[in-house]
Amino acid sequence: MTNQTIEIEILRYLRLMEAAQQLKALDYVKSLVKSKESPNAALLKFAGYLDKQSIGEIEQAIKSDCENIWENE
């Protein structure tokens, strides 16, 4: 099947559906396109948010806290 044939076939079935079904089909098609995107794409908006000093402080806090053993927890 060619791309054009597939598109025609999809449109033919979409026209047979009620509006609610068409919306579900649209959501499904959108989800297929999103699955092609990098899983980290949503995180890119945070790129450059923290400066190097803040990152260093966070790393140090994680290292020092992770080395502790909390026997009561």
**pLDDT, tens digit, 9 for 90 and up, residues 10-40:** 999 999 999 999 999 999 998 888 766 676 7
End-to-end CA distance of the chain: 61
- The whole model's pTM is what? 0.46
Are 22 and 14 spatial neighbours (Cβ–Cβ below 8 Å)?
Answer: yes
